[in-house]
Structure 1
Amino acid sequence: MEKDLELTSNSLVSMDKLEKNTDLKEKLWNKDFVLLLQGQIVSVFGDNIYDMALRFWILVNTGSITLMGILMTSTIIPSIFISPLAGTFIDRHDRRKILIAADILRGISILIIGLLALKGHLQVWMILISGIIMGLCSSFFNPSIDSSIPDIIPKSKILKGTSIFSLASTGNEIVGNAFGGFLVQMLGAPILFIFNGLSFLFSAFCTGFAKIPTIPQEAKNISFFNDLKLGMNFVKKSKGLKSLLITMCFFNFCASMSMTLTMPWFRSNNSLGIGFYGIAMAINTFGMFLGFTYLSIIEIKREKRFFALIASGSILSITMIIYSLTLNLYLISVMFFVDGFCIAVLSSIIQSSIQLFVPSNIRSKVFAFKNTLASALMPLGMILAGILGEKLRMNMIICADYIAFLLLFAYLSTLSSVKKIVNL
């Protein structure tokens, strides 16, 4: 135990040196940040188009909605089991090389799928294998990128930097949803598969020119599983960090339940309808886009971030409670917009707070642990929503869902340990 504490202490000293070097960079838009961002913009856009093209191909070639759901979730399941191990591996190796390798593997995998589809040889089992490869690569890629951002930009700009990455993802989602169907019809699914594969290779190319600081390697003196244990112990000992992780995971659980029930709830009410569901989702995404845009431009003072966290979570909960109790189209539209804006603020503050608080040498482990919890709870929320939705009124389930979330934020507002981390 004393040896573990000594290693952690040495790592933190090394981290202080790393953070001082990082703070020497005066601006957010440095070369390394831009390189990672532009690679992400292209690959995320390719991903959004790929998802739509894949759904189209599955429905045209199999006609099975159930099979489509199974294949779409094949990328999630591997991350549930591999993420904790992946996080430890990342903290012990060069993150830049991991990012490049993950993008190349994903790019080659999707290119093969596209070429097979173009030749008419693509089969369902091939898509399943490709989905598993994508999920495994994402288990290494996502914690690597999350842990790298704080080491390539100044600490004072982390909230903005995180928001800009999220803004790029949300903007791509809007563009993908707007033009994805048109592109599928005009170019066909195989061409879009190939485009997505090339987008990953472009991301790898951009990352190859970026410089990501090397993580202090004291962890090499201990075994892999003891290193994994160090990360888990760090989370256990920090009450504030545990509360933030629980909040993020519980939000994913609540959101997965409400989103699972929202479409059938709209469909079951003639005053809403399935057509308005698409409009409401677009409004929600636009709210998120403006939220991330706001945070990428406006600097929230450190002493006000905890208030912004509690306010955004509370308002988010209240908007969803109101939505569940009304059938007024205009009121629901406003609630979905406000909800999207608050989601952007909430997720950005939590993400940046974790990035600031956790030392670089265990940051990937913490983010991998967070991703595992989130990935595991979302399918559970969907299943539970489906079971309850057949027995109870769907809007009442959504209402109870967000009442519980509101109570969680009422409790969070009393925790000084969370306030300390968020206001770093």
Structure 2
Amino acid sequence: MEKETESKSKELNSTTNLESKEELQEKLWNTNFILLMQGQVVSIFGDTVYDIALRFLILAKTGSVALMGSLMAASIIPRIFISPLAGTFIDRHDRRKVLIISDSICGITILFVGVAAIMGFIQIWMVLVAGIILDVCGCFFNPTTSSSIPDIVPKSKLIKANSIYSSITSANDMAGYALGGFLIQLIGAPILLLFNGVSFLFSAISEYFITIPEVKSYTEKLSFIEDMKSGVKFVKNSKGLKYLYITIAFLNFFAAMSMTLTLPLFKLHKELGVGLFGIAMAINTFGMLVGFGILSVIEIKKEIRFHVFILSGIIVSITMILYSFTLNFYLISILFFLDGLSLAVMNSFIQSSMQKYVPSNMRSKVFAFKNMLTGSLMPLGMVLAGILGEIMSMNIIIFVAYLIFFILFIYLSFVKSVKEIINM
């Protein structure tokens, strides 16, 4: 009788331990996720502040707005060529080390620029090289973060995790641009760069304590180039994933066009003006934060995710189509808020679906390829918008762009392969 009682007690304890382990596994805010998000906070805020400080230094050194724009554009061009190589490298190496090395290089680079500015020997070529180094490090850091999230949080919490990740990114952008200019006036660009460099090194130290599961790759016997091609083939052979890439491409291309045309459109009409442009963009970003916030709290059931995804894309299209017809700022504010909220939902679903669908050993390559796509199409969209804006109505350009996007989402609603990926 005593043995039977003891046996039952052991079974009960075993069951309790199993349940506690399952609860631990289902926990979103585990140590690894917290450390990863901390690194993202430093990285995004640092990039934004550095961007402002660099603009300030270039203008102070040269006094040329055109040169400033050219140097800033030149610093992001390597992203287009480096991203595919970076994705393959990440899938073949320890992702924790990639995070640590990326942040360490950023920290050392920014510290050098800060010291050069303080000592008075800074040159324009140093600023350009530093910008290129930071952008290249971002090619490694960002896909590593995106590919690591599914391996350190439960699958059931993936949409929430990505929403939190995107909320941090959006909030940091807002805070960086809001505080960057103030901090430069308060303490000066060189001192700000020193603090920024130290923050990157602190982030690298904290990332040392992250545990990211090792990727078991079947591509170990493949050469680097063959491995890189395998990522392209994976996307090519998946009909649903190809459609998601097309969606991302159109979205970024048209968003770049509308973003480029919105400022001159506001400036052109007395009913709006440049002053209201900043408010409108802030409202759009606030809408995104609200969207990410909602998804970080509410659990969307699998069976309705695809319908919510299609609805969000349609709302994005309709809000921008209506925006092209009105000069009423109050209506534009409502439309921009709804646009931002719907963009947040759509992007979170795409990100989470890709993370679930793509195997660990392919994930960094796939996300790096996505970054290359967005990095190359956005400048192209800006250039095309500028050319078309000189020869035809800016309202018509925005209307046509989002009418095409609306038709794309109506078509996607009938594509079974996309539905299967989104509802995973």
TM-score range, shorter chain: over 0.9
Which runs of no fewer than 5 residues in structure 2 stay unpaired? 1-20
C-alpha change, 1:82 and 1:177, in structure 2 (3 Å) is closer
Using the size of structure 2 for normalisation, the TM-score is 0.93
Q: Deviations over 1:176-221 (max 9, x none)?
A: 2332221111111112212221222122112110000000033211
Q: Which residue of 1 aligns with 2:325?
A: 325
Does 147-156 or 110-119 show the bigger shift?
A: 110-119
Give yes or no for the alignment of 1:158 onto 2:153.
no
Deviation at 1:22, TM superposition (A): 10
Given residue 309 of structure 2, which amino acid in structure 1 is its aligned partner? Answer: L
Q: Which residue of 2 aligns with 1:403?
A: 403
Q: Which residue of 1 aligns with 2:365?
A: 365
Give yes or no for the alignment of 1:53 onto 2:40.
no
Q: Which residue of 2 aligns with 1:91?
A: 91
> In structure 2, the residue corresponding to 1:390 is in which secondary structure?
helix
Q: Which residue of 1 aligns with 2:196?
A: 196
Alignment of 1:149-298 (within 5 A): 149-298=149-298
> In structure 1, the residue corresponding to 2:391 is in which secondary structure?
coil
Q: Percent identity?
A: 60
Q: Deviations over 1:117-153 (max 9, x none)?
A: 1122212111110111112111111111110100000
Deviation at 1:357, TM superposition (A): 0.3
Distance in 2, Cα, partners of 1:42 & 1:236: 35
Q: Which residue of 2 aligns with 1:17?
A: none
> In structure 2, the residue corresponding to 1:170 is in which secondary structure?
helix
Deviation at 1:233, TM superposition (A): 1.2
Q: Which residue of 1 aligns with 2:40?
A: 40
Distance in 2, Cα, partners of 1:233 & 1:140: 21
Deviation at 1:24, TM superposition (A): 7.3
Q: Which residue of 1 aligns with 2:384?
A: 384
Q: Which residue of 1 aligns with 2:3?
A: none
Give yes or no for the alignment of 1:28 onto 2:9.
no
Residue 36 of structure 1 contacts residue 203 of structure 1 at CA under 8 Å; is this kept in 2?
A: no
Distance in 2, Cα, partners of 1:201 & 1:212: 20
Q: Which residue of 2 aligns with 1:64?
A: 64
Q: Which has the larger radius of gyration?
A: 2
> In structure 2, the residue corresponding to 1:219 is in which secondary structure?
coil
Q: Deviations over 1:77-126 (max 9, x none)?
A: 11101111111111111111111111111111111111111122212111
Distance in 1, Cα, partners of 2:366 & 2:172: 27
C-alpha change, 1:74 and 1:22, in structure 2 (3 Å) is farther
> In structure 2, the residue corresponding to 1:220 is in which secondary structure?
coil
Distance in 2, Cα, partners of 1:34 & 1:203: 12
Distance in 2, Cα, partners of 1:108 & 1:29: 30
Distance in 1, Cα, partners of 2:247 & 2:143: 18
Given residue 296 of structure 1, which amino acid in structure 2 is its aligned partner? Answer: S
Distance in 2, Cα, partners of 1:389 & 1:396: 10
C-alpha change, 1:107 and 1:22, in structure 2 (3 Å) is farther
> In structure 1, the residue corresponding to 2:25 is in which secondary structure?
coil
C-alpha change, 1:43 and 1:140, in structure 2 (3 Å) is closer
Name the Cα RMSD after superposition. Answer: 1.5
C-alpha change, 1:405 and 1:23, in structure 2 (3 Å) is farther
Using the size of structure 1 for normalisation, the TM-score is 0.93
Distance in 2, Cα, partners of 1:175 & 1:227: 39
Deviation at 1:396, TM superposition (A): 1.2
